Every structure is written in structure tokens, then in C-alpha cells.
């Protein structure tokens, strides 16, 4: 694999997005925005200041010059493809051509030549929609599982012998070391972006990116994605210390009584200053801390809902379910189905409706969840 660059002691993944005259603008710019989110946008929303992005995303082209795309939009690449450019991943998104008449091969010959060299140097190639055709042109699909837009699967089968097309799959990884990553058509570039974030930055970052950008094809609204806590500390030094204490003790019995005692204030004064500083009553603040931790556990573990409830401080799982649904608009089981699949890295393909990763086969049977 090409080496990632090191910036301010953090590893910054370098991902290139290839622009060609046959490309369309929205996947290029949308992919750039999603990939820039990890490490940056969640911190801005929850802490009040943006963090440092964990991914450096560069729009690249054959010569690095501005170009008009097939749909009339313009794109301004930041660099040219050359022998010195070896990103961790190269993304090839939608390429417009008629599947009946075929791709004009001379129009992409030099990009394909670079792609072959990059692949043999150990690079990883990620495609969405018809971008997979360049993998075929580069001879990388023989004997491999592949997917693309459903309207181009027959074209791929006819033109690239040995490829195993899976028109029902929204996302799959194949090839040596799973260095070929393909997403289907339409908006599947979003699934591809979340997969890359999960693979290179961790599943927590992928989940946060989905929540920030409301990536949800079931249109259930923003509630399930929004953070339940404001992580900014109060300017009231006593209350700020109490916020820190609550972050360590929210799962204990009677945390409000505990924090009042810790504050050294009488109960009435403490509650008044706490609400003035945070905008919440102490009990609501504790609820938000518990729900945020519950969300993390549901996203990243297979613990049953009853166990999650106990881990965050509730002995009554039914009460926990009701509070969770009141605040987030989903039951814990529904929340897990929506978000927990991001922690499972797809290998060899995922068959699913567009819009969400799902746990690996059989994984859901271990959850023991019920609505």
C-alpha cells in the first residue's frame, strides 16, 4: 500500500477522486465533502470548533487543468496524474457513456495506463456506478466479483471476460487484499464513502459521518443522527467540574444526588446554576449522557438491549426503551439496525437495498433485540 502522509502527528489518508470529461459533478463534489468529514465536522457540531480532517481528498485529472464535464458543470482538479502520485485510494465515480454503443476507449487510454501502474504498485481502487468500467479496461476484473449500475451489468459481462457481475449488490470488495472496492449505481457513492471512512478511519467515524450528513434512505428525520449532548464546557468553573464528574459517574445509582454532593453547593443553588450554565436540568443532562453512551454501545457492540440499559445505568430495560424512543424517535433495536452495520466491513459483497450497510450474515441473530 502507498504510505499515508503524516500531518501534525496524525495520519492523514490520501484519497484521490478522478475527474474525466465523461464524469458528472455531483458524485465528485459529494464524495469530496463526505470524505473530508471525519475528524472535522462532528467536532464542529458538538464542540463548537472544527477538528482536523483525517482524510486529505484531492480531485485529480490527467493534466490537472480545469475541465467542463459531460453535464456542463466545471471541475478544478488540484493536481495531475503522474508517476509520483500514489494515493492510498483512487476513486473513480460515474462515467457517462451509452451502454449500447460502448465506451470510446481512446478517450480514457492514458488514465487506464496510469491505473494499471498504480494497481501494480499496490494501490487501492474504489469505484461507484459506471466508474467500474475503467477496472475492466485496465484488465483488473478477470476472475473477480464486481458490481456497477444495473443498466451496465450486461455491458460489463460482454466486454470483460471472466468478470462475475452482481447487479443486486450495492457494495463489495474483491481482488488481492480487497484492493478493488465497487459500489452500485445512483447514490451508492455515499455507501462507498462510508465504507472507505470505516476501513481507514474506523467505524465510529463512519457512523458520525452518517449522522452529520443524515444519510438515511428511510427518511426518518434528523433525530436519530443528532448528538444528544453538547460537549462544550461551562464557563462556570464549579459546573464545569460537575460536568466532568457526571461524564465519569452517569451510570451510577442517583448520579444527580452524587453530583450535588460533589459540587459543595446546596441542591437548590446547584440546580439553578447548572440549568443556567447548560440549559438543562441535571436529570436531563444525565439522561443525555446515558443515551449517548447507549448509542455508542448499540453501534459498536452486540450486547443485548437489556445489557446496554444496565451498562448506562438503568435497571429497568423497559423504561430505558421508552426514554430512548421518546428522545430519538427509534427503539434501541431500530437504532441498531440502522447504524450497527457500519461496524461490519463488507467482504465479497453485500446484497441489500440502497442506503445502509447491514451486519454480516447471521450477525443480527446474536443481538437478542426486540422492539
The single residue listed with the C-alpha cell 485529480 is 60
Q: What is the pLDDT of residue 113?
A: 95
As its CATH architecture, domain 5-212 has 3-Layer(aba) Sandwich (3.40)
Closest-CA residue to 313 (of 289, 332, 278): 289
Tally of CB atoms within 10 A around 161? 10
d(CA 307, CA 61): 51
**194 and 345 in contact (C-beta within 8 Å)?**
no
Q: What is the pLDDT of residue 342?
A: 53
Extents of the domains making up the chain: 5-212, 237-340
**136 and 125 in contact (C-beta within 8 Å)?**
no
Beta-bridged to residue 183, according to DSSP, are: 128, 171
The grid coordinates of residue 172 equal 463489495
Tally of CB atoms within 10 A around 303? 18
**87 and 14 in contact (C-beta within 8 Å)?**
yes
Q: What is the mean pLDDT of each run of 10 residues along the chain (371 residues)?
A: 39 90 94 94 86 94 94 94 93 92 86 95 95 95 92 92 88 89 88 90 86 66 62 80 91 94 95 91 93 88 93 94 91 86 46 30 33 48
Name the CATH superfamily housing domain 237-340.
Homeodomain-like (1.10.10.60)
Fold match between domain 5-212 and domain 237-340: no
3-state secondary structure the chain: CCCCEEECCEEEEEEEEECCCCECHHHHHHHHHHHCCCCCHHHHHHHCCCCCCCEEEEEEECCCCCEECCCCCEECCCEECCCCCCCCEEEECCECCCCCCCCCHHHHHHHHHHHHHHHHCCCEEEEEHHHHHHHHHCCCCCCCEECCCHHHHHHHHHHCCCCEECCCEEEEEECHHHCEEEECCHHHHHHHHHHHHHHHHCHHHHHHHHHHCCCCCCCCCCCCCCCCCCCCCCCCHHHHHHHHHHHHHCCCCCHHHHHHHHHCCCHHHHHHHHHHHHCCCHHHHHHHHHHHHHHHHHHHCCCCHHHHHHHCCCCCHHHHHHHHHHHHCCCHHHHHHHHHHHHCCCCCCEECCCCCCCCCCCHHHHCCCCC
Global pTM value: 0.70
Amino acid at each position: 500500500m502507498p504510505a499515508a502522509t503524516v500531518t501534525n502527528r496524525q495520519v492523514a489518508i490520501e484519497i484521490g477522486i478522478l475527474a474525466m470529461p465523461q464524469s458528472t459533478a455531483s458524485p465528485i463534489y459529494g464524495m469530496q465533502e463526505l470524505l473530508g468529514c471525519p475528524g472535522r465536522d462532528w467536532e464542529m457540531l458538538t464542540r463548537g470548533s472544527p477538528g482536523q480532517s483525517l482524510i486529505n481528498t484531492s480531485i485529480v485529472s490527467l493534466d490537472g487543468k480545469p475541465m467542463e464535464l459531460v453535464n456542463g458543470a466545471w471541475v478544478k482538479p488540484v493536481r495531475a496524474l503522474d508517476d509520483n502520485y500514489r494515493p492510498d485510494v483512487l476513486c473513480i465515480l460515474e462515467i457517462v457513456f451509452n451502454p449500447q454503443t460502448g465506451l470510446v476507449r481512446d478517450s480514457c487510454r492514458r488514465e487506464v495506463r496510469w491505473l494499471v501502474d498504480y494497481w501494480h504498485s499496490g494501490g487501492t481502487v474504489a469505484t461507484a456506478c459506471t466508474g467500474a468500467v475503467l477496472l475492466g479496461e485496465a484488465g483488473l476484473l478477470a476472475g473477480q466479483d464486481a458490481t456497477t449500475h444495473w443498466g451496465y451489468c450486461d455491458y460489463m459481462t460482454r466486454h470483460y471476460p471472466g468478470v462475475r457481475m452482481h447487479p443486486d449488490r450495492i457494495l463489495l470488495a474483491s481482488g488481492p487484499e480487497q484492493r478493488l472496492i465497487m459500489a452500485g449505481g445512483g447514490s451508492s457513492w455515499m455507501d462507498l464513502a462510508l465504507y472507505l471512512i470505516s476501513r481507514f478511519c474506523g467505524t465510529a467515524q463512519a457512523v458520525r459521518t452518517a449522522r452529520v450528513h443524515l444519510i438515511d434512505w428511510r427518511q426518518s428525520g434528523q433525530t436519530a443522527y443528532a448528538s444528544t449532548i453538547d460537549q462544550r464546557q461551562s464557563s462556570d468553573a464549579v459546573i464545569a467540574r460537575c460536568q466532568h464528574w457526571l461524564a465519569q459517574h452517569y451510570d451510577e445509582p442517583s448520579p444527580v444526588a452524587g453530583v450535588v454532593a460533589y459540587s459543595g453547593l446546596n441542591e437548590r443553588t446547584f440546580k439553578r446554576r447548572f440549568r443556567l450554565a447548560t440549559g438543562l436540568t441535571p436529570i436531563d443532562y444525565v439522561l443525555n449522557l446515558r443515551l449517548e453512551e447507549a448509542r455508542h454501545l448499540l453501534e459498536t457492540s452486540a450486547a443485548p438491549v437489556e445489557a446496554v440499559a444496565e451498562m448506562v445505568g438503568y435497571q429497568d430495560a423497559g423504561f430505558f426503551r421508552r426514554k430512548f424512543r421518546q428522545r430519538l424517535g427509534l427503539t434501541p433495536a431500530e437504532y441498531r439496525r440502522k447504524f450497527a452495520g457500519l461496524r461490519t466491513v463488507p467482504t465479497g459483497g453485500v446484497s441489500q437495498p440502497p442506503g445502509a450497510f447491514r451486519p454480516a450474515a447471521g450477525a443480527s441473530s446474536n443481538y437478542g433485540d426486540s422492539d
